[in-house]
Amino acid sequence: MSRVRVHNFSISLDGFCTGEGQSLDAPFGHAGGRLHEWFFRTRTFREMHGDSGGGTSVDDAVARTWEAGIGAEIMGRNKFGPQRGPWEDHEWTGWWGANPPFHTPVFVLTHYPRPSLEMEGGTTFHFVDVTPQEALRQAREAAGDLDVRIGGGVATVREFLRLDLVDHVHLAVVPIVLGRGERLWDGLEGLEERFEIESVTTPSGVTHLTLTRR
Amino acid sequence: MSRVRVHNFSISLDGFCTGEGQSLDAPFGHAGGRLHEWFFRTRTFREMHGDSGGGTSVDDAVARTWEAGIGAEIMGRNKFGPQRGPWEDHEWTGWWGANPPFHTPVFVLTHYPRPSLEMEGGTTFHFVDVTPQEALRQAREAAGDLDVRIGGGVATVREFLRLDLVDHVHLAVVPIVLGRGERLWDGLEGLEERFEIESVTTPSGVTHLTLTRR
Query: In this predicted structure, what is the pLDDT of residue B89?
Result: 87
Read off the pLDDT of residues B70-85 as tens digits, 9 standing for 90 and up: 999 999 998 999 888 9
Query: In this predicted structure, what is the pLDDT of residue B100?
Result: 96
Q: C-alpha distances in angstroms, A165 versus A3, A40, A150, A196? A: 9, 29, 10, 15
Inter-chain touch B185–A13, beta carbons under 8 Å: yes
* Distance between B83 CA and the closest CA of chain A, angstroms: 27
Read off the pLDDT of residues B127-145 as tens digits, 9 standing for 90 and up: 999 999 999 999 999 999 9
Beta bridge partners of B185: none
Q: C-alpha distances in angstroms, B87 versus B77, B84, B118? A: 11, 8, 18
- A→B contacts (Cβ < 8 Å), by residue, are 13-15, 173, 175-180, 183, 185-192, 197-201, 205-207, 209
* Distance between A159 CA and the closest CA of chain B, angstroms: 15
Which residues in chain B are closer than 8 Å to A199, comparing Cβ atoms?
A: 173, 175, 201, 205-207
Which residues in chain A are closer than 8 Å to B177, comparing Cβ atoms?
A: 185, 188-192
**Residue positions counted in chain B:** 214
Mean pLDDT, range B202-209, rounded to an integer: 97
* Distance between B140 CA and the closest CA of chain A, angstroms: 29
**Residue positions counted in chain A:** 214
Query: In this predicted structure, what is the pLDDT of residue A24?
Result: 86
Statement: residue B14 has pLDDT above 90 = yes
Q: Exposed, middle or buried by CB within 10 Å (0-12, 13-18, 19+), for B85?
A: exposed
Statement: residue B182 has pLDDT above 90 = yes
Statement: residue A82 has pLDDT above 90 = no
Query: In this predicted structure, what is the pLDDT of residue A44?
Result: 96
Which residues in chain B are closer than 8 Å to A201, comparing Cβ atoms?
A: 199-201, 207
Beta bridge partners of A128: A109
Inter-chain touch B189–A178, beta carbons under 8 Å: yes
The angle subtended at Cα A84 by Cα A81 and Cα A87, nearest 5°, is 85
Is the CB of residue A150 less than 8 Å from the CB of residue A122? no
Inter-chain touch B14–A188, beta carbons under 8 Å: yes
In which band, very low, low, confident or very high, does the pLDDT at B23 lie, cut at 50, 70 and 90? confident
Inter-chain touch B179–A190, beta carbons under 8 Å: yes
Inter-chain touch A177–B200, beta carbons under 8 Å: no
Which residues in chain A are closer than 8 Å to B207, comparing Cβ atoms?
A: 173, 199, 201, 207
Share of chain B above pLDDT 90, in %: 93
In which band, very low, low, confident or very high, does the pLDDT at A60 lie, cut at 50, 70 and 90? very high
Pick among B14, B20, B161 to test the A interface (most A CBs inside 10 A): B14
Query: In this predicted structure, what is the pLDDT of residue B82?
Result: 86
In which band, very low, low, confident or very high, does the pLDDT at B175 lie, cut at 50, 70 and 90? very high
Closest by CA to A15, choosing from B102, B70, B185, is B185
Count the alpha carbons within 13 Å of A180 in the hemisphere toward its beta carbon: 7
Q: Which of B175, B192, B206 sits opposite A175 (nearest CB)?
A: B192
* Distance between B60 CA and the closest CA of chain A, angstroms: 18
Mean pLDDT, range B98-118, rounded to an integer: 96
Statement: residue B24 has pLDDT above 90 = no
Inter-chain touch B192–A185, beta carbons under 8 Å: no
How far, in Å, CA of A64 to CA of A47, rounded? 10
Statement: residue B4 has pLDDT above 90 = yes
Inter-chain touch B192–A176, beta carbons under 8 Å: yes
Task: Kindly indicate whether the ipTM for this predicted assembly is greater than 0.85, answering yes or no.
Answer: yes
Query: In this predicted structure, what is the pLDDT of residue B1?
Result: 79
Mean pLDDT, range B31-39, rounded to an integer: 97
Classify residue B146 by its DSSP letter. Answer: S
Statement: residue A8 has pLDDT above 90 = yes
Could you give the 3-state DSSP secondary structure of residue B160?
helix
Average pLDDT over chain B, rounded to whole? 96
Read off the pLDDT of residues A121-138 as tens digits, 9 standing for 90 and up: 999 999 999 999 999 999
Statement: residue A1 has pLDDT above 90 = no
Domains defined for chain B, CATH in brackets: 4-84+100-213 (3.40.430.10)
Q: Which of B177, B186, B209 sits opposite A191 (nearest CB)?
A: B177
Pick among B192, B194, B198 to test the A interface (most A CBs inside 10 A): B192
Mean pLDDT, range A186-195, rounded to an integer: 98
Residues 6+ apart with CB under 8 A from B51: none
How far, in Å, CA of B112 to CA of B169, rounded? 28
Average pLDDT over chain A, rounded to whole? 96
Q: C-alpha distances in angstroms, A40 versus A23, A35, A58, A169? A: 20, 10, 14, 20
